[in-house]
Amino acid sequence: MDLELVPLTHVYGGGLFFDTAHIEEAMRAWVDWVHTVPDTVTSSVALVRFPPIDEVPEALRGKFVLHLRFAFVGADEEGERLLAPMREAAPTFLDLVGEMPTSAIGSIHNDADQPGPAWDRGMQLEDIDQEFVTEFLARAGAGTDVPFIAIEIRHIGGAASAEQHGGTAIGGRQAPFTLVMIGVPVPELFAEAMPQKSDYIVAGILPWIASETNINFLGHVASTQQFASAWPSDAFDRLANTRTTWDPDRMFAYGP
């Protein structure tokens, strides 16, 4: 395996936090804004329900927020200019965006660094619009009862969508967004409550769900058809034939 390193020492990145009252206006602004930024910008938004526990910083404890995650490769001044429309879209109660070393990129999402019980379900989306925001927030926004800590929509595209010489076995290249629902760490809710609530959310956004996805975003696999959707059909057939040839006894038995 050959790896090519990128000489990148810092990025302009971090997060903007919008309180409950400003979630809708901020998310609607993001859906329009994300179509205008260059490939040097990576962003996502997440509806986050912070539990009221001491482990959560006091400023976020018990809050329901929209967290805009942002990273820009280039001069800080240009990153600030590109982010300005989102800073102006709605009031923020925390603005944590600034220059950071690449070694601190993980702090943008600030995911847990310790193992624990987890449930998630993911998919990829076709291009999203204001009607999508309406349907999504009606089922997952303020005033709804969902057992998810976070529901994130991530913008991809750029080099991820570029065709590779000779083809690859990577699925979901042409779907420009991903969506993932991350459940509360309560295992007794994993079997019924979370699948049922996720089905309810999915039912409202079906017109925007891509037919193809990527195995890294799929989460819980419930059927053979769902498993196969993580690759283009020709790539899946090629991988299945390779598996039959080299692992006929299914020692590595991932997937249905």
Which two three-digit tokens encode residue 194? 């979370």
Query: Does the structure show a pLDDT above 70 at 256?
Result: no
Q: What is the pLDDT of residues 129-177, one digit of tens each?
A: 999 999 999 999 999 999 999 999 999 977 777 776 666 788 888 889 9
User: Mean pLDDT over all residues of the chain?
Assistant: 91
Q: What are phi and psi of 128, to 5 degrees?
A: -105, 160
- CATH class given for the domain over 10-109+117-221: alpha beta
Q: What is the pLDDT of residues 44-92, one digit of tens each?
A: 999 999 999 888 889 899 999 999 999 999 999 999 999 999 999 999 9
Query: Does the structure show a pLDDT above 90 at 227?
Result: no
Q: What is the pLDDT of residue 233?
A: 85
* CB neighbourhood size of 224 (10 A): 10
pLDDT tier at 112, thresholds 50, 70, 90: confident
Tokens 């982010």 label which residue? 83
Q: What are phi and psi of 108, to 5 degrees?
A: -65, -45
* CB neighbourhood size of 63 (10 A): 17
pTM of the model: 0.90
Query: Cβ(6)–Cβ(70) under 8 Å?
Result: no
Can you name the residues that pair with 125 across neighbouring β-strands? 177, 209
Domain spans, the chain: 10-109+117-221
Q: What is the pLDDT of residues 17-41, one digit of tens each?
A: 999 999 999 999 999 999 999 999 9
Which one, of 130, 128, 137, lies nearest residue 64 by Cα? 137
